Every structure is written in structure tokens, then in C-alpha cells.
Chain A
Amino acid sequence: MRLKRKTLQKIGIHLILLTTLVAVAFPIYYAFVMATHTHQDAYAFPPILTPGDQLIPNIKEAWNRVDMSVVLNNSFIIAVLVSIGKIVFSILAAFAFTHFKFKGSWFLFPLCMVTQMMPLPVRVIPLYQTMANLGWLNTYQALTIPYLASTTGIILFRQFYMTVPEELADAARVDGATPMQYLRSILVPLSWTNIAALLVIEFVYMWNEYLWPNIVTTASDMRVAQMGLRMLYTSERGAAEWNIIMAGTLVIMLPPLIVLILFRKQFAQGIAMQTTK
């Protein structure tokens, strides 16, 4: 009797989870279905809920309308540059805060943490003026350098480096290794999980950035993916060509999704590490 109740309970849990999953996945599925139909079929009533065969022509059309190769290329460049930059900067800072005793670290560490409190939007106007003064408008510098300090990254690596046994550093020192040699040949190879986790976090973040790129770029060859999507979407008011819009949406959402799926295990582990204090 007891066993039966447990089985029922489990079936209930599966039902709730599957229903939620379907509800969460539906917008993507529907977007996909839209992207596979002609303009006319997209407006059919009742709505068609099964895929058609127009996906490739729709993607081609979307690709041409927003200069897709340019926006994807730009987003890819800034996402990769910022990810690598943040990983390197965070590893260096975390290494300093965990392996050295130095004057002022009590003050410098919290200072590094304030980045979290000052998201870009609260300083967007002066920062724009800084970019203009530096002559950085419409450059990759403006799209990457202001992002390079990372609270998340420093915490992520610090959390891990604190758990690395001290004997490792002692042994390296006895063997005559410099701190940088120790970092490069021992600590970094141990950090791959954290590096992959931060790569996912930063790649997704930069790929999805919109406000700042929208402000510092005016030239059409500096536009990023999210701006391309906006152009595709807003140019089609009235009888919106949902099939073209959704074809473009699928293309633009794919790169961060691939990165997340590739490194999902490391991402989950990185998050687990962030939550353990």
C-alpha cells in the first residue's frame, strides 16, 4: 500500500515536470515551426503547429536582410575576446588574493567585488563620453575593454584556489619554480572546469549584450547579433513576416546555446562551486 502511494507520487512528479518542460520549450518549438513555413502559412487559421519545409529559404532571406555574417562575426569576436580576457584577468587576481600576503589586499579585494554593484547601465553616460574622448566609438576596444573586470570570475577562481593544498605550492617552491611557473604548469591545468564554466557565463553574457553595443556603435559594420535581431524584428511591423523573423532568431540564438550544451557539465559544477561558501 505504502509502495503504491510512493509510485503514485513519483508519477505525479514526472507529470508536473513534463508539463512545465513542455510549457517552457513551447516558445522555441513554435518559433521553429514558424521559421519553416511560408508567410501565408504563418498566418493560417487555425495556426499550424507542425514544421513545414521552408526553413532554408527563410534563413537565407533573414541572412541577407540583416547582414548576418557581419553581426555574427562581430558578436563572436567580442564574446571570445571578453571571455578570454576575463578568464586571464580573474585567474591572475584570484591567484594574488589566495597565494600572497600583501599590503592593501584587505582593501583591494572588496574593491574588485564592487564591479557587481555597478552594472554598466548606472555609469553608461559618463562611460560613453570616456569612449568618445578616447576615440573608441565604433571600435572593438569599446565593445570589450570596459567588460574585462569580473567579480564572478575572481570569486569562482578564488573559491577553488583556496582549496588547493598548500603542499603543492611548497613543493613547487622547493623545486625552484617561480610563482608564475607554478601558476602556469600546476594551477591553471587544475582549473579547467572553472575556466569552462566562466567561458560559458561570459560567452553567453557578451553574445546577449545589447544596451552598450547599441550606444557605442553607429557604423553598420560594427553591429552585433542582438542589434541585427532588433532590425529584423522592427522592420517588419504591420503584417510581420514571422517566418523570416523566427528564422533569423534561430540563427542568432544558436551559438551561445551550442557553447552552453558543450560545457553544460562544467557550467553546472562551476555554479555548484559558487554556491558553496
Chain B
Amino acid sequence: MDRFPNHRILPYGLVLPSLTVIVVFLIIPFAQAIYQSFHRVSPFGRQLRYVGWRNYIEMFQSPEYLSSFQNTLIFSVLVIGVGLTIALVVALLTTQKIRGAGFYQIAFIWTYAMSPIIAGVMWSLIFDPSIGILTHGIANLTGYRINYFTDTVAAFILVTVASVWVMLGYNICFFVAGLQNVPHELREAAAIDGATAWQTFWVVTFPMLSPTTAFLIFVNTVYSFFQSFGLIDVVTQGGPNRTTEFLIYKIYRDGFGRMQEGQAAAQSVVLFVLVAIVGAFQIYTSTKKSVYNR
């Protein structure tokens, strides 16, 4: 640990750059957000006025906020549930002893380079009401033409599919890395004891993979809560009927569009608490006594 015992000051100098950025651009602004969440800008002038818990109380009484909250949660659960399941299946298959395993592992990575906006643009073409391939396909099968400009379900599916798609490369990459860390002997031992592939997966592989899974749940939560902003802003603008007005989009609208800084700050604090809960879960999973005393 202490490989250069005679240098007492140097380590502080080494962490100073990172620390300065963290304090000035993270801790202080965050503290300000908490402060603002208990204040309001008065309608005349730019003075802040203390309002206690009012921003929070009104927020949780607002049907708009509650439905945004609910939609964000549904969206996150779908992105995490569907996205991680597909990624895990693909990762499991590409780590089998098959030819071209390396090719597949590389072939799926590239969606990682795509931005949420690019995902949104590409999938909105597929969902396009007049020329979208999916629209044509569904119309041919059912006679119903989906239109994500007016149809809330179609819009919700569009943003979910685009999000799952854009996160897929990253998720697969981490699952592949995690699977390669699961010792072969354990799986083989289970197989010798007569366990089926299905049993081996649930008893050996999946528990050993839990740090990776927890990490991916955290990353995908951050994506659903924050990174999805670009996709929403460009493709649906929160619509139709506010279905895709997720929490971050609402903060942006209230904070910058409607100039309700206090209310937006209160929303930011709640959002932080949500992320912190998922983050704490991840840290807990990755630091607790490892599964099977690895």
C-alpha cells in the first residue's frame, strides 16, 4: 500500500484535480439543489423565498407528477427486465463451445457506440405512421395502423424498444465478461453430479453472476432515468398525452421551460434518492461476502 513512505503531501496533490471537480461541480451544486428544493422564486424579481416542504408536498399531490413517476418506473423495469434477459441469453449462448464465439461477442458490441437519439431516430423510422416497416407489417396482419404520434401504447413501446436496443451491446459485453469469470470447474462439477443445464445455470452460474447483474441494473437504471432524455426530447417530446414525459424530462421542462426552479429542484432530489437506492443495492451486492466464498 505505502510504496513511497517519504511523500506526505504528494498524494493530496494527486487527488486534488478529481476532488476539485467533484466538490465544485458535484457536491456544491447538489447541495444547492437541496437548498432550492425548499425555496421558490417569487413571481416578481429573482428573490428566493423559503417555503418549507411545500414543493415536495405539492409534487406528490400533483397527478401529473405521479403519472410521470409511474411511467418512469414502468419504463425502467421494462428496459432492465427485457434488456438484461435478452443480453444474458445472448451472452450465455456466445460463451458456449461453438465456432465463431469470438465473432458473435464482437458483433453485438457496436450498439454501444450509438446514442439514444440515434436509436430514437432509427426506430422511429421503423415505427413511422406512413412508411414504417413495422407499421406496414402490423397493418397487414391486423388491419390496424399504429401511430406513435397519437397512440400512447405505440409511443411507449417505441421508446422502450429503442432503449433496449441501444443498451444491448453494453449489457452483452458485461455479461460475457462476467460469465468468463465463472470458474469452469464449478459448472463441470455440477454437470457431473447430474444437474441439468437449467439447474446448473440457476444454482451455479446465476448466483456467481450477481455482482455483474447488480452493476448492470444500476447502469440501466441510470440510462432509463437520465440518458433516455435525448430520445424523448427528439422523438416524442413527452407525448402523446404525457405518456413518455419521464421524470428527467419533466425536471427539464419545469426547470427551464416553466421557470419553476424550486419545484424542479425538489424533483431532482427525489430522483437522486431513487438512484442512490439502486446504487446502494449495487454496492451492497458487489461487496458483501461473495457468493460461495469465491
Does B116 reach chain A (CB closer than 8 Å)?
A: yes
Classify chain B's interface size: 35 or more
Asked if B21 and A122 make an inter-chain contact with CB atoms under 8 angstroms apart, the answer reads no
B28 partner residues in chain A, CB cutoff 8 A = 126, 130
A95 partner residues in chain B, CB cutoff 8 A = 14
Answer whether A126 and B29 are a contact pair too, CB < 8 Å, given A17-B93, A30-B133: yes
Which 4 A-B pairs give the minimum distances between C-beta atoms? Answer: A208-B115, A126-B32, A96-B14, A101-B2
Does A124 reach chain B (CB closer than 8 Å)?
A: yes
B240 partner residues in chain A, CB cutoff 8 A = none
Contact partner of A149 among B18, B117, B252, B268, CB < 8 A?
B18
Does B44 reach chain A (CB closer than 8 Å)?
A: no
Chain A residue at minimum C-beta to C-beta distance from B272 = A122
A-B contact list, 16 entries, CB within 8 Å: A17-B90, A24-B111, A90-B18, A92-B15, A111-B19, A114-B22, A114-B26, A119-B226, A122-B33, A122-B271, A123-B30, A125-B264, A150-B18, A173-B4, A211-B229, A277-B211
Chain A residue at minimum C-beta to C-beta distance from B149 = A237
Write the nearest CB–CB distance from A133 to chain B, whole angstroms: 11
Write the nearest CB–CB distance from B248 to chain A, whole angstroms: 5
Contact partner of A14 among B15, B98, B123, CB < 8 A?
B98
B112 partner residues in chain A, CB cutoff 8 A = 204, 260
Chain A: residues with CB nearer than 8 A to chain B? 10, 13-14, 16-17, 20-21, 24, 27-28, 30-31, 34, 42-43, 45-47, 88-90, 92-93, 95-102, 105, 108, 111-112, 114-130, 145-146, 148-150, 154, 166, 169-170, 173, 179-180, 182, 204, 207-208, 210-211, 214-215, 226, 229-230, 233-234, 240, 242, 245-246, 249, 252-253, 256-257, 259-261, 264, 267-268, 271-272, 274-277
B174 partner residues in chain A, CB cutoff 8 A = 271, 275
B55-63, B101-109, B183-191: which one contacts chain A? B101-109
Contact partner of A253 among B25, B104, B114, B168, CB < 8 A?
B114
Asked if A92 and B18 make an inter-chain contact with CB atoms under 8 angstroms apart, the answer reads yes
Q: How far is the CA of A102 from the CA of B248 in the complex (A)?
A: 39
Contact partner of A252 among B26, B118, B264, CB < 8 A?
B118
Tell me the B150-178 residues at the A interface (CB within 8 Å): 165, 168, 173-174, 176-178
Write the nearest CB–CB distance from B288 to chain A, whole angstroms: 11
